[in-house]
Structures are given as structure tokens and as C-alpha cells.
Amino acid sequence: MSELRDLYQQVIVDHHRAPRNFRALARPTASGDGYNPLCGDRVTVELELADGTIRDIGFQGAGCAISVASASMMTAALRGRSVAEAGELFDRFHAMLTDGESAASADAALGKLAVFSGVREFPSRIKCATLPWHAARAALAGRHEPVHTE
């Protein structure tokens, strides 16, 4: 189990050092801001939505390793997804961190995002991991494109 934890930490360190999609979009259609006063993390997520699909996504901001890595991995996971799929991922990710869903079951649904299951052991860092997701959800709930709820 500690080997698995080391692997998870490596993934987070890697995404912190070289975040994916750390950029402003040329044609954003929606954006959302997040701020975590407990840690000082700030993130802005920009989306390019077309036909209910996330065509492009990027983020900017500054924060701790967990918040930056989470934003990096989130943008990689959400590009090309439908708005509905993004909402499902948000729910699964949130449940993994707050409801104690097992890492194995989270793995199946979340893939690489399951590396954040270890954050559950550090309650003060959970908001660091979920911050970019809240910003993305705020962007998706914006007025730029109608949001379809199931």
C-alpha cells in the first residue's frame, strides 16, 4: 500500500512541476474562479463549450502542489467530455474525497484521478483538491451555455 501511495505522490509532484493546460484559452465561452482561503489557492478555469461538449479547457492561478496537480489532471480528464459527463466526474471525485468511497471503486470510475484518494487522510487538504472542480462547475453553470440537469 505504501508503494501505491508513493506512486500517487509521484503523479501529483509531476503534475505540479509540469501542469497540463496551464494557459488562457483563445476563445473561452465560460469561466469560473475558485479561492481556498485555508490554503491560499487561487484558480481560474476557462472552458470552450460547443454542442454541450468541452472542446477545450485551461486553468491559471497559483496554489499548493495538490491544488495545481488537481487542476492539471482535471483539465486533462474533462477535455472532450460532455457537460453531463463532467458533472458525473465531479460527483465521483467529490464522493471519493468526502464520502470514503474505496480507492478501488474510485479507480474504476476515475482512472488517474484516483491518485487523490490519499488526500482523504489529510482533511485540511481536501478543499485544495476539490477547488478546481468547484471552479469548473461554476463555469459550467454560467450563463454562456444552458446547463442541462438530469
Instruction: Please report, as ranges, the residues that interact with Zn ion according to CB under 5 A.
Output: 39, 41, 64, 67, 128
In whole angstroms, the minimum distance from the beta carbon of 39 to Zn ion comes to 3
Beta-sheet strands, E only, within 25-71:
30-36, 41-50, 53-62
By beta-carbon proximity to Zn ion, the closer residue of 79 and 125 is: 125
Mark residue 146 as left, alpha or beta (left: phi above 0; alpha: psi -120 to 50; beta: remaining).
beta
- Residue whose C-alpha is closest to residue 106's, from 94, 79, 1: 94
Cell of 55: 472542446
Distance between CA atoms of residues 53 and 62, nearest Å:
27
Asked whether 91 and 133 are in contact (CB, 8 A), the reply is no
Question: Looking at beta carbons only, is 41 or 48 nearer to Zn ion?
Answer: 41
Q: Which is nearer to Zn ion, 31 or 70 (CB)?
A: 70
Report in angstroms how near the CB of residue 129 gets to Zn ion at its nearest. Answer: 8
CB of 72 to Zn ion, least distance (A): 14
Residue 118, C-alpha cell as written in the block: 490519499
Closest distance to Zn ion from the beta carbon of 62 (Å): 10
Residue 86 or 128: the one with the smaller Cβ distance to Zn ion is 128
Q: Are 34 and 42 in contact (CB under 8 A)?
A: yes
Q: How far is the CB of 84 from Zn ion (least distance, A)?
A: 29
Q: Cell numbers at residue 109, please?
A: 470510475
Quick one: 45 or 49, whose CB is closer to Zn ion?
A: 45
